[in-house]
Amino acid sequence: MKKLLFTLLASAVFYAAQAQDIIIKRNGDELEVKVLEIDLREVKYKRFDNLEGPVISIAKADVFMIKYENGTKVTMNETRPAVQEPVYAQRTGYPQENLKLGGPRLGFTVLSQSYRDHIKDEFDSDVSAIMTQFGWQFETRVFTLENGTSGLFEFVPLVGGLEQGKFLPSLSALVGIRSAKGLEFGLGPNVSLGGAGLVLAVGTNFQSQGVNFPVNFAVAPSKDGARFSLLFGFNSRKY
């Protein structure tokens, strides 16, 4: 019985030791941790004996080697294994590398009465107060800060009114900000049959099985009336 208990205890200790990352510093110290992220200057981790505790940073120049729990060993003159994604990427679905995102957009737009009157006067065509929208969003991330906040440029062409037998195009170009949690805000010019104006958009992003599902609400005021749009879609990635 004692021999069996000793064997079980030794096995538990062995597997526990294998379930952690090891940071080996250049001075020879070894730290038992869970590595979270490696950037150009720092290695960020949590102590293995306090995984609910704070995130700790250590200068990358002070680290000689990292031994990951899967047995992979990486020295600091090597790149990190591709399987080790930053925490930011795991949380939002947007990895840290430069990328372009594009995907379809569909939804609906509510037209103000003055906007509808303008369309009728200019094009001799009645338009319902609510119309569908179909289009595509082209997005380029300009920069990403260390806290995960990103600067964006977006170009969104849409076609509305198809369910009414109409062809009402619009083009929007937005400069925006997206937080590490996926909340975003954008502002830019908009051109439509109702004339030119500004568009203001806010939104968020949901993720399921590695696919991003953005939801955006936009307001496009102009001298000829306002439009209020709610758009849905998904993103495909191009690296």
The range of the structural domain enclosing residue 183 comes to 100-238
In a domain? residue 57: yes
Tokens read off for 218: 């936009």
Percent of the chain at pLDDT > 90 equals: 33
Q: How confident is the model at residue 80 (pLDDT cuts 50, 70, 90)?
A: very low
- The residue out of 52, 84, 116 marking a domain boundary is 84
In a domain? residue 91: no
Among 231, 204, 205, 235, smallest CA distance to 219 is for 231
Say whether both 133 and 231 belong to one domain. yes
129-168, pLDDT tens digit by residue?
A: 999 999 999 988 888 787 778 888 999 999 999 998 889 9
Among 35, 152, 153, 148, smallest CA distance to 94 is for 148
Collapsing DSSP states into helix, strand and coil, what is residue 135?
strand
Number of independent structural domains in the chain: 2
Say whether both 56 and 116 belong to one domain. no
In a domain? residue 120: yes
**Residue 168 near residue 158 (C-beta atoms within 8 A):** no
